[in-house]
Amino acid sequence: MAKKGTILIVDDEEDILFSLKFLLKQHFASVFTDPNPYHLPRLLRTHEPDVVVLDMNFGKGRDSGEEGLEWISKVKELRPQVPVVTMTAYGDVGIAVEALKAGAADFVEKPWRNEKMVATIRAAYEHGQTEKKVEKLAGSQQALSQALDQGFKEIVGQSEKMKQVFRTLDKVADTDAHVLILGENGTGKELIARALHRKSHRSSEVFIPVDMGSIPESLFESEIFGHKKGSFTGAHQDRIGRFQAASGGTLFLDEIGNIPLASQAKLLHALQTHQVVPVGSNQPVKVDIRLICATNMPLYEMVEEGTFRQDLLYRINTVELQLPPLRERVGDVPLLTDHYLNEYKRKYQKPNLEINKQAMDKLSAYGWPGNIRELRHIIERAVIMCEGRKIDADDIILSEPRKQDSGIALDQNMTLEEVEEKLIRMAMKKHQGNVSKAASELGLTRTSLYRRLQKYGI
C-alpha cells in the first residue's frame, strides 16, 4: 500500500525531531521537521502538511504549555483544516484539555510508544481528510440551501425523505437528547452529526469524533475514559479520555456497532452515571456530554444475537434517525450532481463545463450502491476526463452490476457449503481480513461471519 500524507514536526529538541522523523517516514509519504515554531507560517505554506505534530513547550525550564496553546491557535488560524497533534514531557489533564479546546486533534506524552504515536497521527490524518471534504461541502452548498430555505444549510437535499430528516433535526438539534444515526456507508452520517452539533446550544464547545472501529479492545478504556500515570506499561503521564475531552460539548461515536460486548457495559455505566473512572484511578470524574452515535450495522439484529446490549441500545437512541440511501432519494441526484460539478469545476479549472440531459438521466437511473460518496467520485472522474465543454453520457462511467457468478469458478459438483466457503474466502481476501467490511459485502452480521470463519478454519 502506497504511503500517504505529509507530516510536519516542530520541536526544539533535535533528538526528538530525528527519532520522530525516522519513525514516521516508515508510515507516511513525507515528513518535515523544524526546531523553531516561529517558522510555522512559512512551513505551512511551503509543505502544506496534512498533520502538524507540535511540542507544547519551547526552551529549557518551560512547562506551562502556554507557548504550545498560542501556536495551536496560530496553526488553526492559518490552516483551519490541518489537525494538530500536541506532545509534551510535562503533560497533565489541564494542559490536555486546553490543547483540545484550542483546536488540537489529540495529545501524546513524551516519551511515547511508537505504536501509539503512529496510530494517533494516522487517526488525525484520516479525520483531517474527512474534515476537508465536510468543509468543502458546507461552503459550496450555502447558496443552494438558502434558495431551498432549509434549516440545515450544509446538507444537500429536497426529496421528501430528506425533508423528514430535516424536520427531525430541527426538533432534536437544540436538546441534549442522545441521537442514533443509522444508514449505509456513504450516506453522510458524520455530516449529520456535525450539523446537529452546530445547531445545538453546545455549538461553541468541542465536537469530538471517535471511530470506534479503529480502537483495539485493549486500548478502549484508556482511549475513552483516560488513564493515570503508571497505570500500565507506557502510561508515562496522566491522559484524559474522549469523554472528558468532549465534556461541555458533543461526543460522536462513529461505528458504534464495532464496540466489543465487554466494553459495552463500561460505556453504558458512563452514560448512566455521567461519570468516568480513568484507568488506574478509583476516583470518578463527572462529565457533561451530548452523545451522537452512528452505524451501518443492524443493531437490532445484533441485540437478538446477543452481540449488542439491549440496554445500551435504548440508552443511545433517545432519538433514532434513519438516513435514506441515495437510491431512495433519486430526486436529489441532480442537486448533488450540480453541487459536486461546481466544486470540481473550480478545483480543476474548467469553469465553462456543463452536463447534458443524457448524462443526468443516466445518473438518475443508476442504483447508487456506494451512495453519495460514489456519486462524488464519479463526478470528479467525469470532470477530469471530459475533453469538451459538456459532460455527456459516455463520460459517466458507472460500476457494472455484480453478476452472481462474478469472479467465482463454480464446479457443478460443489456443495452449498463449499460455495459459501469460497465466497467468504474471496470477501476476506478482497478486504484484507477486515471482518466488518467482508460481513457487509456478504450481507451477514459480524457475529454470523465469525461463526462461519471458525467453521471453515479461515
- Residue-range domains of the chain with CATH: 6-124 (3.40.50.2300), 150-324 (3.40.50.300), 329-395 (1.10.8.60), 416-455 (1.10.10)
User: pLDDT tens-digit profile of 208-252?
Assistant: 999 988 888 888 999 999 988 888 877 778 888 999 999 999 999
Distances (CA, A) of 409 to 159, 164, 402, 406, 433: 42, 45, 15, 8, 21
* Burial classification of residue 42, based on how many CB atoms lie within 10 Å of its CB (0-12 exposed, 13-18 middle, 19 or more buried): exposed
User: pLDDT tens-digit profile of 127-178?
Assistant: 888 776 665 555 434 433 333 333 455 688 888 999 999 999 999 999 999 9
Q: Which cell numbers hold the place of 389?
A: 465543454
Q: Beta strands 319-322 and 290-295: pairing type?
A: unpaired
Instruction: Evaluate whether 54 touches 107 at the Cβ level (below 8 Å).
Output: no
Core vs surface per residue 68-96: b (16+ CB within 10 A) or e: bbebbebbbeebeebbbbbbbeebbbebb
What is the rounded distance in angstroms from the CA atom of residue 389 to the CA atom of residue 397? 17
Q: How many Å from the N-terminal Cα to the C-terminal Cα in the chain?
A: 23
SS3 of residue 226 by DSSP: strand
As a whole number, the mean pLDDT across the chain is 86
* Phi and psi angles of residue 423, each rounded to the nearest 5 degrees, phi first: -60, -45
* Number of alpha carbons in the 13 Å side-chain half-sphere of residue 451: 6
Pick 105 or 448 by higher pLDDT.
105
